[in-house]
Amino acid sequence: MSWIEPVFTFTLKRLLSAVPTLLLVVAATFFLIRIAPGGPFDSERNLAPDIRANIERSYHLDEPLLQQFGRYLGGVARGDFGPSYHYRDRDVSDLIAESFPVSFKLGMTAFFLALLGGVTAGVLAALRRNSFRDHALMSLAMSGISIPNFVLAPLLVLLFAVHLQWLPAGGWRGLGSVVLPAFTLALPQAAYIARLTRASLLDILGSDFLRTARAKGLSRSQAVWRHAMKPTLLPVISYLGPATAALLTGSVVIEQIFQIPGLGRYFVTGALNRDYTLVMGVVIFYGSLIIFMNLLVDLLYAWLDPRTHRKQ
């Protein structure tokens, strides 16, 4: 198994190089959210100054900022994201563990929806270039990219939940409640992947090696399946890292609109409440997730493209 060692070395290198990246993200978030006006306990009504000082001391908010930062990093290094400032008696880790499965389910549904829908649409469009089908699919893709999710979501709710009453307008109960949010979340990514797939396949369809395949006696569809699919999908695969990041960002809005008790909603309420530790926790968690996805994508890409292999 000659490939295990280079893969292991590559993974280790990437994980090590992720540490400074994450550190930078943590630092930026930490100081930025503290620059934002207000603090975690400002909404409490008429707190006596000494009580307030007492609370802040118990959360070490009276210490100099750099000392707080050091204390926080120390906690994170031990796997402790600290207590939430807003949800009393709850640890940030608990909140993440509790709400992430919901976001994961929504995100994965959207991920596969975007991948399957996007690739299918892109391939169908490229195979009949400049046909009605091509133009229709690409107009749809253009709309998918252009229409913001906070516009699309209410329109879908109006149609499918209010008028047709096929699907729930929000909440998180049963399979039906996944459909609209996952679709809204997936659409722009599906559209982007469709355009990417189309351009990529058109490029391959005009390539010399596909003509060689036809000259060997493969039919057009055989040539496309056996020789064009893999090179067509490579750019799509390298987009999956950024796509994950886009889905995570999108889920923050989508979960808010559809009232889904996921991590994205905690992120928004956390930011509004100046719940410093909660926001930091979610940022670190999502940051790691994106770094991990990018690593996975790079490994997949290297596995698929023989030209990246080391010479034996």
230 touches other proteins (CB under 8 A): yes
Provide, rounded to whole angstroms, the least separation between the CB of residue 194 and other proteins.
22
217 touches other proteins (CB under 8 A): yes
Token pair belonging to 14: 């990437």
79 touches other proteins (CB under 8 A): no
Residue of the chain from 8, 209, 225, 303 that contacts other proteins (CB under 8 A): 209
17 touches other proteins (CB under 8 A): no
User: How far apart are the C-alpha atoms of 18 and 70, rounded to whole Å?
Assistant: 19
Nearest C-alpha neighbor of 280 from the set 8, 37, 61, 27: 27
**Nearest CB to other proteins, comparing residues 60 and 214:** 214
153 touches other proteins (CB under 8 A): no
195 touches other proteins (CB under 8 A): no
Provide, rounded to whole angstroms, the least separation between the CB of residue 35 and other proteins.
50
**Nearest CB to other proteins, comparing residues 16 and 215:** 215
Give the binding range for other proteins (CB under 8 A) out of 72-80, 87-95, 253-261, 304-312: 304-312
The upper half-sphere exposure of residue 166, i.e. CA atoms within 13 Å in the direction of its Cβ, equals 9
227 touches other proteins (CB under 8 A): yes
310 touches other proteins (CB under 8 A): no
Give the binding range for other proteins (CB under 8 A) out of 22-30, 87-95, 114-122, 214-222: 214-222
Provide, rounded to whole angstroms, the least separation between the CB of residue 117 and other proteins.
25
**Nearest CB to other proteins, comparing residues 39 and 231:** 231
Asked whether the beta carbons of 161 and 180 are under 8 A apart, the reply is: yes
219 touches other proteins (CB under 8 A): yes
**Nearest CB to other proteins, comparing residues 154 and 231:** 231
Residue of the chain from 11, 207, 256, 259 that contacts other proteins (CB under 8 A): 207
Size of the site for other proteins (CB under 8 A): 23
Q: Which residues pair with 83 in a beta bridge?
A: 91
211 touches other proteins (CB under 8 A): yes
**Nearest CB to other proteins, comparing residues 71 and 216:** 216
Residue of the chain from 1, 66, 175, 215 that contacts other proteins (CB under 8 A): 215
Q: 3-state secondary structure string, the chain?
A: CCCHHHHHHHHHHHHHHHHHHHHHHHHHHHHHHHHCCCCCCCCCCCCCHHHHHHHHHHCCCCCCHHHHHHHHHHHHHCCCCCECCCCCCCEHHHHHHHHHHHHHHHHHHHHHHHHHHHHHHHHHHHHCCCCHHHHHHHHHHHHHHHCCHHHHHHHHHHHHHHHCCCCCCCCCCCCHHHHHHHHHHHHHHHHHHHHHHHHHHHHHHCCHHHHHHHHCCCCHHHHHHHHHHHHHHHHHHHHHHHHHHHHHHHHHHHHHHCCCCCHHHHHHHHHHCCCHHHHHHHHHHHHHHHHHHHHHHHHHHHHHCHHHCCCC
Kindly identify the residues of this chain, within the stretch 157-176, that bind other proteins according to CB under 8 A: none
Residues that bind other proteins (CB under 8 A): 207-209, 211-220, 226-227, 230-231, 304-307, 309, 311
